[in-house]
């Protein structure tokens, strides 16, 4: 598949142009023209790039790419090393951030819900990246945390009332703890995200709605996994997801 054909396909599939984001979505670093083998992962770290080189990849596809608005834009230190790795091996880098959170089929939030057996009944927050739904069965928040631990393979942090019965749940993968207050407007019995901030504890206690921090990396693995499978099935590409442990 031609590189620019893949770029167009992914941009259209994930509706990349409709999102206001903290980074550019799509092709971030241009590599060789022909793409046959793609290495996929959560973040474009040096370890993932090394895995791509070792596997003879033509492209790397991630959720967390580069060129974030809040970062120092100078290409020095680890940024130089990462970019030099791609350029030396003529490997393209594709990154899709909010588009891969919000997608209704392949997105992180939908894919997490499928693994947990949660139904999707609505959205919240700007650009519809927060989700609302119901668990398979009504159960205490502590039981939901235990099921998340089993599914994700890591122990989540539960703050607030673990005994609260959860019939309605709101969630947003990754670092969406700041959406907690907006999630409360949807009247959930529980809010789940990836990370936690100091003030999250107080909001969970004072609102009566418990909060689960299930891991940024852990809650955002499944979108890029689903996208890799989609590219294998629909584009005939050799796509491999590489899991690199990250406790955050």
Domain ranges of the chain: 3-97, 103-216
Q: How far apart are CA 148 and CA 170, in angstroms?
A: 14
Task: Give the model's confidence band at 220: pLDDT under 50 very low, under 70 low, under 90 confident, else very high.
Answer: very high
> What does the pLDDT look like over 93-136, one tens digit per residue?
999 999 999 999 999 999 999 999 999 999 999 999 999 999 99
Q: How far apart are CA 15 and CA 9, in angstroms?
A: 10
Task: Give the model's confidence band at 151: pLDDT under 50 very low, under 70 low, under 90 confident, else very high.
Answer: very high
- Residue 33: the pLDDT is 98
- Residue 58: the pLDDT is 98
Angle at which helices 141-152 and 108-116 cross, to 10°: 110
Q: What average pLDDT does this structure show over 196-201?
A: 97
> What are the tokens at 113?
């819900």
Q: How far apart are CA 112 and CA 106, in angstroms?
A: 10
**Going by C-beta distance under 8 Å and a sequence separation of 6 or more, which residues neighbour residue 159?**
196, 200, 201, 204, 205, 210, 211, 213
Length of the chain: 248
DSSP 3-state of 33: coil
Angle at which helices 222-235 and 108-116 cross, to 10°: 100
- Residue 214: the pLDDT is 98
Total Cβ atoms within 10 A of residue 137 = 9
DSSP 3-state of 84: helix
Q: What is the dotted CATH code of the domain comprising 103-216?
A: 3.40.1390.30
- Indicate the pTM of the whole model: 0.96
Q: What average pLDDT does this structure show over 7-12?
A: 98
- Residue 128: the pLDDT is 95
Q: What is the dotted CATH code of the domain comprising 3-97?
A: 3.40.1390.30
Task: Give the model's confidence band at 158: pLDDT under 50 very low, under 70 low, under 90 confident, else very high.
Answer: very high
- Residue 117: the pLDDT is 98
Q: What average pLDDT does this structure show over 207-236?
A: 98
Q: What average pLDDT does this structure show over 150-155?
A: 97
> What does the pLDDT look like over 77-86, one tens digit per residue?
999 999 999 9
Q: Do domains 3-97 and 103-216 have the same CATH topology?
A: yes
Q: How far apart are CA 216 and CA 130, in angstroms?
A: 15
- β pairing state of 157-159 and 238-241: unpaired
Q: What average pLDDT does this structure show over 212-222?
A: 98
Q: Are 89 and 56 in contact (CB under 8 A)?
A: no
């Amino acid at each position: 598949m031609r590189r620019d054909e893949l770029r167009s396909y992914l941009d259209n599939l994930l509706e990349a142009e409709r999102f206001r984001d903290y980074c550019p979505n799509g092709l971030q670093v241009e590599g060789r023209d022909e793409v046959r083998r793609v290495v996929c992962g959560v973040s474009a770290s040096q370890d993932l790039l090394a895995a791509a080189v070792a596997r003879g990849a033509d492209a790397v596809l991630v959720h967390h790419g580069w060129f974030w608005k809040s970062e120092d834009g100078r290409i020095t230190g680890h940024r130089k090393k990462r970019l030099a790795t791609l350029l030396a091996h003529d490997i393209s880098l594709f990154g899709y951030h909010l588009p891969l959170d919000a997608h209704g089929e392949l997105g992180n939030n939908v894919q997490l819900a499928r693994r947990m057996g949660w139904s999707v009944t609505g959205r919240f927050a700007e650009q519809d990246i927060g989700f609302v739904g119901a668990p398979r069965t009504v159960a205490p928040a502590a039981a939901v945390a235990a099921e998340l631990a089993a599914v994700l393979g890591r122990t989540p942090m539960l703050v607030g009332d673990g005994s609260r019965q959860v019939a309605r749940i709101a969630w947003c993968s990754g670092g969406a703890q700041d959406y907690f207050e907006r999630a409360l407007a949807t009247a959930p019995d529980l809010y789940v995200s990836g990370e936690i901030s100091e003030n999250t504890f107080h909001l969970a206690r004072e609102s009566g709605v418990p909060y689960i921090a299930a891991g940024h990396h852990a809650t955002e693995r499944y979108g890029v996994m689903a996208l890799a499978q989609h590219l294998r099935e629909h584009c005939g590409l050799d796509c491999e997801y590489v899991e690199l442990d990250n406790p955050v």
